């Protein structure tokens, strides 16, 4: 939701064009909520969700660790004050020369999900710690989870044995239950898989110590979502159920859950029209769309709350579209969005819950439109 600080900023600064405003107080609240919900888990913030320097500096100062997807993100985390020991290179898809650069920067924790990646890490970062990502089904997640990352648990056993054979430290298992995961029980099956891999490796004399439980923690969009504490309780119960009183070290990687609700995009209504006199829906065109930062509206996956100055007045179902000359740049059409009938050209709207996965997704210049500006306050 738009905090008073964000509203005051917008009222005072009156920035022209669409922009994101992020309130650091909310980020700090979210960090503290995660720390309280899972006090024994290390927090590795998923930098890709929002790599704004101010966000990274705040989280570094609060003691966060960082889950990085690329060398550029590793450099940003270091720049923000994190040490290399607090950084995980969490992308399972890495060029060997990038692994070498990360290694040279001191990073020693790497994600893998196949023997081929283990071989690269062994060559480029000898002695590093690796965790193997296992596949999950992503049920309950609102952002589609594909089979892109991870392997089946039986293959993870081979991957970690190979890591061990090549002189790496086979340190554990990771998984991801799918982004915007609203089922607090979604972690249970994957934790069971982790335990299975732990036991299989123990039989081979290899002691795993780490379960990286990934992200997936949601932001509140239009529907209520469970609080961090509910996730903490469910996850802790699963860990106890499967690992008994020999709990492993654990990591969580919140991204959306850390910054999503800390940001609000201010946008402008550029046009309101109908396609024919009989059209059941009005078309509302904003100055931001799928290529300007709202990429997660792809297939209408994420449905953002939109606040207008006319809320409370009578509404009409609207198709909402972006400003580009691209016919695919439509945000909500399959399920039209109710907006006040009095909404008109030139009105400002606030798109809430946009602190994560917006600025960096914005296209560099599609239709000559500049990338989404961001203010972190």
From residue 234, alpha-carbon distances to 140, 191, 239, 241, 247 in Å are: 15, 11, 9, 10, 15
Q: Which is nearer to a copy of itself, 37 or 330 (CB)?
A: 330
Residues in the chain: 377
Q: Which is nearer to a copy of itself, 329 or 352 (CB)?
A: 329
Identify the helix (H) or strand (E) that includes residue 199.
helix 187-203
Distance of CA 3 to the CA centre of its chain: 21
Beta-strand pair 373-376/348-352:
unpaired
Residue 258: CB minimum distance to a copy of itself, A: 15
Catalytically active residues are 325
Q: For helices 24-37 and 53-62, what crossing angle results, to 10°?
A: 40
Residues 233, 297: Cα–Cα separation, whole Å: 31
Residue 74: CB minimum distance to a copy of itself, A: 8
Residue 272: CB minimum distance to a copy of itself, A: 6
Q: Which is nearer to a copy of itself, 144 or 230 (CB)?
A: 144
Residues 214, 187: Cα–Cα separation, whole Å: 10
Residue 51: CB minimum distance to a copy of itself, A: 7
Q: Which is nearer to a copy of itself, 54 or 333 (CB)?
A: 333
Q: Which is nearer to a copy of itself, 37 or 284 (CB)?
A: 284
Residue 328: CB minimum distance to a copy of itself, A: 6
Per DSSP, the three-state class of 41 is strand
Contact assessment for residue 234 and residue 184, using Cβ atoms and an 8 Å cutoff: yes
Contact assessment for residue 114 and residue 136, using Cβ atoms and an 8 Å cutoff: no
Residue identified by tokens 């989404």 is 372
Helix ranges (H only) for 204-306 are 228-243, 256-259
Of 296, 264, 363, 260, nearest in space to 15 by CA: 264
Residue 151: CB minimum distance to a copy of itself, A: 5
Residues 192, 172: Cα–Cα separation, whole Å: 13
Residues 111, 141: Cα–Cα separation, whole Å: 22
Q: Which is nearer to a copy of itself, 230 or 345 (CB)?
A: 345
């Amino acid at each position: 939701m738009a905090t008073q600080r964000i509203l005051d900023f917008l009222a005072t600064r009156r920035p022209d064009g669409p922009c994101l405003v992020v309130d650091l107080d909310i980020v700090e609240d979210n960090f503290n909520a995660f720390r309280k919900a899972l006090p024994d888990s290390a927090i590795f913030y998923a930098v890709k969700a929002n790599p704004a320097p101010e966000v990274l500096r705040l989280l570094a100062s609060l003691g966060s660790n960082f889950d990085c997807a690329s060398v550029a993100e590793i450099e940003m985390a270091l720049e923000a004050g994190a040490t290399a020991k607090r950084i995980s290179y969490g992308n399972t898809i890495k060029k060997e020369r990038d692994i070498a650069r990360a290694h040279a920067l001191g990073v020693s924790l790497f994600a893998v999900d196949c023997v081929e990646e283990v071989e690269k890490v062994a060559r480029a970062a000898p002695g590093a710690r690796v965790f193997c990502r296992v596949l999950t089904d992503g049920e309950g997640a609102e952002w589609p989870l594909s089979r892109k990352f991870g392997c089946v648990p039986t293959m993870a056993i081979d991957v970690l044995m190979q890591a061990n054979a090549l002189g790496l430290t086979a340190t554990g298992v990771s998984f991801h239950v799918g982004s915007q995961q609203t089922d607090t029980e979604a972690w249970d099956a994957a934790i069971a898989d982790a335990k299975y891999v732990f036991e299989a490796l123990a039989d081979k004399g290899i002691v795993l110590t780490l379960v990286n439980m990934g992200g997936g923690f949601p932001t509140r969009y239009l529907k209520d979502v469970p609080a961090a504490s509910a996730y903490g309780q469910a996850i802790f119960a699963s860990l106890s159920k499967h690992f008994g009183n020999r709990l492993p070290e654990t990591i969580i990687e919140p991204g959306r859950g850390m910054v999503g609700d800390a940001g609000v995009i201010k946008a402008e209504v550029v046009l309101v029209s109908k396609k024919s006199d009989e059209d059941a829906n009005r078309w509302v065109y904003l100055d931001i769309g799928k290529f300007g930062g709202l990429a997660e509206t792809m297939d209408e996956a994420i449905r953002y709350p939109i606040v207008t100055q006319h809320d409370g007045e009578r509404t009409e179902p609207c198709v909402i579209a972006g400003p580009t000359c691209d016919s695919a740049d439509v945000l909500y059409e399959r399920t039209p969005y109710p907006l006040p009938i009095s909404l008109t050209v030139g009105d400002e709207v606030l798109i809430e819950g946009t602190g994560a996965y917006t600025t960096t997704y914005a296209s560099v210049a599609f239709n000559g439109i500049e990338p989404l500006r961001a203010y972190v306050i």
